[in-house]
Amino acid sequence: MSVHYQNVVPWGRSFQEYVDMFSLNDEDLDKSILGCGDGPASFNCEMNRKGKSVVSVDPLYELDRERIQKRIDETYLEVLEQTRANQDKFIWKNISSVEELGKIRMSSMSLFLDDFEKGKKQGRYVAGGLPELPLEDASFDLVLVSHLLFLYSEQLSYDFHVRAINELLRVAGEVRIFPLVDLNSRKSIHLDEIIGELVSQGYVVSEDKVEYEFQKGGNTMLKIQTI
Ligand SMILES: C[S@@+](CC[C@H](N)C(=O)[O-])C[C@H]1O[C@@H](n2cnc3c(N)ncnc32)[C@H](O)[C@@H]1O
C-alpha cells in the first residue's frame, strides 16, 4: 500500500521539529523568517512567544478558525490511517507509535488554533499561496518550507516547483526546503533537475544532512542562496 492524498493536507509540526528539520541555530532564529506553507504548525506561535520574528503564509489562512479546525478534523483520521497502513516507511524512534504521532500533531495544531486569530490581526498569518505570494521583494532573510515542495511531487509539477522556488527567492535571499523525499519516502522525482536549474540560474545550492528523520531517508534539506 502507498500513501496518497488527493490534495495537500493541513498537518502541523512544532518549533523543535522546525529547528531540527532546518538545522536552525541561534543566529538563524534571530533572522526575519517567512514560513511558507506553515498551515497549522505551531512554529509561528512558539517563535512569537520567544519574541522572534516570523510570518507564515498559507492559503489555509483565508478560512476562519472554525473552518480550519473542521479541515484539520476531517483530515486527521485519514492521515493517521494512511500512516498506520504504511508504518514501514517511517522511523519510530522519537515518536514511538501512530497514536503518539496523533497526540503530538494535535497538540501543535491546538497551539496554532489558539494563536491564529490574534496572529492574523498582527500580520503573522498571511493568506496566500505559491507560486505567487502577496509579499514584497526581499522582505525576509530566510524562507522555510516544510512538508510541501518535493513531498507532494506527485501532485505538484516540476514547473510548479521551479516557479515556486523562484518566487521564494524573490522574497528572501535564502530558502530552505525539507524534506526532499515524497509521501512514500522516495527521493523526489523533481529534485535533481531542480538543483541543475537553480545552479544554472546562478544560485548556490546544497543538500545538507539534518538531525531530523521521521520518514525513512528524509534527513536532508535543500539550501538555496543568492550569491
Ligand atoms: C502538510 S502541511 C505542512 C504544514 C507545516 N509546514 C508543517 O510542516 O507542519 C502543508 C501545508 O501547505 C499548504 N499549502 C498548500 N498549497 C500551498 C501553496 N500553493 N502555497 C503555500 N502553501 C500551500 C497547505 O495549506 C498546508 O497547510
Confidence of residue 225 (pLDDT cuts 50, 70, 90): very high
Confidence of residue 3 (pLDDT cuts 50, 70, 90): confident
Residue 188 makes CB contacts below 8 A (sequence gap 6+) with 150, 151, 153, 180, 181, 182
Could you tell me if residue 150 is left (phi over 0), alpha (psi between -120 and 50 degrees) or otherwise beta? Answer: left
Whole-number Å distance, alpha carbon 96 to ligand 1 midpoint, is 25
**Rounded-to-integer distance, Cα 187 and Cα 33, Å:** 27
What pLDDT, on the 0 to 100 scale, is given for residue 9?
87
Kindly tell me if the per-residue pLDDT of 70 is higher than 90. yes
Backbone angles phi, psi at 127, to 5 degrees: -75, 125
Whole-number Å distance, alpha carbon 58 to ligand 1 midpoint, is 6
Whole-number Å distance, alpha carbon 45 to ligand 1 midpoint, is 16
Contact 174, 141 (CB under 8 A): yes
**Rounded-to-integer distance, Cα 103 and Cα 91, Å:** 17
Domain 15-225 sits in CATH at 3.40.50.150
**Rounded-to-integer distance, Cα 130 and Cα 160, Å:** 8
Nearest atom (ligand 1) to Cα of 60: 25
Angle between helix axes 191-200 and 158-171 (nearest 10 degrees) is: 40
Whole-number Å distance, alpha carbon 178 to ligand 1 midpoint, is 12
Ligand 1 neighbours, Cβ below 6 Å, are: 8-13, 36-39, 41, 58-60, 129-130, 146-148
Kindly tell me if the per-residue pLDDT of 6 is higher than 80. no
What pLDDT, on the 0 to 100 scale, is given for residue 2?
83
Domain definitions of the chain by residue range: 15-225
Q: How many CB atoms lie within 10 A of CB 178?
A: 28
Place of cell 507560486: 131
Q: What is the pLDDT of residues 83-130, one digit of tens each?
A: 999 999 999 998 999 999 999 999 999 999 999 999 999 999 999 999
Which of 76, 110, 148 maximizes ligand 1 atoms within 8 Å of its Cβ, making it the mutation to test the pocket? 148
